[in-house]
Amino acid sequence: MLSPVLLGQVLVNGLSLSAIYVLIALGFTLLFGIMRVVNFAHGAFAMLGGYALFYLYGVFKLPYVLAVPLGAAIVAVASLVLEFLVFRWFYQKMLQSMIGLLGLNLAIEFSAVLVWDVYQRSIPPAFPGVIRLGGLILPADRLMVIGIALVVLAAFWLFMRRTRYGLAMRAAAQDVEIAQSQGIDTRFVYRLAFVIAIFMAALAGGLYAQIYSLSPFMGDRPLLVAFVVVILGGMGSIPGAALGGVILGFTESFLSTFYGASVSSFVSFGVVILLLIVRPWGLLGTPESLRP
């Protein structure tokens, strides 16, 4: 069964899976890193991003390069209402946020059922078809996701490292009180981090819905993936999310191809359990005891 072409295909599949997983996990880890909020409503925002792209690109026929960021931006800005009503009460409350936001996730999901019904829809592909390279098959839309993931990662890294707001976010993440004493408006910083995190969840959700399918329940899997990736890489760590996504993507691609989907799930979750036992703070995370 093993051949250079097959091995190449496994690597290509792994790369595209990694890109999807990294994109999904970024917003999730950002909220935890800055505000210590475990956003179990992450999947619902991804789903809303899917519907936003469905209308902007699929129904209103906006150019794709405009529809993707605009859809995510609309969801992010509209979600400020939920930030005011729900999220802000859970900042720095890890356990409470898990349960509260799981409830919010269900509320958004079933509101979506009332609005859009349960039927699965598809968002028209922006880049249909496959590119054949030797014996390798590269679905064009997957290549696009890899490109977007790289751009988003780079932009996000630059924002956090090279801008004053990024610096303020890092300061607030390290110690809220000291950040406030230095004149940082932490309420604004939190709100900004929230908007960026939801923007990224919705962006990932739009692309996810386009690659797979769109329905009110489509966010359940991204939520699970985000959680696993972030646990693997380290809660709150951006490089950790990237590393976790890459590890999960390549592991799933390799094991599913050679040993089957069930073995892949078993090993992936087994590794997460093992990691939680020996290194509970993840590969690139910070132990709770070292946090301020």
Among 117, 175, 185, 288, binds other proteins (CB under 8 A): 117
Residue 55 interacts with other proteins (CB under 8 A): yes or no: no
Between residues 165 and 254, which has the closer beta carbon with respect to other proteins?
Answer: 254
Considering only residues 12 to 31 of the shown chain, the ones binding other proteins according to CB under 8 A are 13, 16-17, 20
| Contact of 140 with 129, CB cutoff 8 Å | yes
CB of 180 to other proteins, least distance (A): 42
Q: For residues 216 and 110, what is the distance between their CA atoms, to the nearest angstrom?
A: 7
In the 8-state DSSP scheme, what is residue 290? G
Q: For residues 214 and 201, what is the distance between their CA atoms, to the nearest angstrom?
A: 15
Between residues 138 and 168, which has the closer beta carbon with respect to other proteins?
Answer: 138
Stretch of 153-161, 166-174, 199-207, 247-255 lying at the interface with other proteins (CB under 8 A): 247-255
- Quote the tokens at residue 157: 């890294």
- Quote the tokens at residue 146: 């890899």
74-88 burial, b at 16+ Cβ within 10 Å, e below that, comes to bbbeebeebbeebbe
Residue 157 interacts with other proteins (CB under 8 A): yes or no: no
Residue 273 interacts with other proteins (CB under 8 A): yes or no: no
Among 6, 80, 107, 267, binds other proteins (CB under 8 A): 6
Between residues 260 and 287, which has the closer beta carbon with respect to other proteins?
Answer: 260
Residue 124 interacts with other proteins (CB under 8 A): yes or no: yes
Q: For residues 35 and 16, what is the distance between their CA atoms, to the nearest angstrom?
A: 30
Q: What would the x/- binding string for other proteins be over residues 132 to 151, using CB under 8 A?
A: x----x-x-xx---------
Nearby residues of 289 by Cβ (< 8 Å), 6 or more positions away: none
Please classify residue 9 by burial: count the beta carbons closer than 10 Å to its beta carbon, then call 0-12 exposed, 13-18 middle and 19+ buried: middle
CB of 195 to other proteins, least distance (A): 27
Residue 239 interacts with other proteins (CB under 8 A): yes or no: no
User: How many residues belong to the chain?
Assistant: 292
Residue 119 interacts with other proteins (CB under 8 A): yes or no: yes
Between residues 129 and 287, which has the closer beta carbon with respect to other proteins?
Answer: 129
For the chain, the first-to-last Cα distance in angstroms comes to 52
Q: What would the x/- binding string for other proteins be over residues 191 to 230, using CB under 8 A?
A: ---------------------xx-x-x--xx--x------
Q: For residues 45 and 196, what is the distance between their CA atoms, to the nearest angstrom?
A: 12
Question: In terms of Cα–Cα distance, which of 196, 226, 168, 245 is closest to 75?
Answer: 196
Q: For residues 50 and 207, what is the distance between their CA atoms, to the nearest angstrom?
A: 7
Site of interaction with other proteins (CB under 8 A)? 1, 6, 9-10, 13, 16-17, 20, 117-122, 124-125, 128, 130, 132, 137, 139, 141-142, 212-213, 215, 217, 220-221, 224, 252-258, 260-262, 264-265
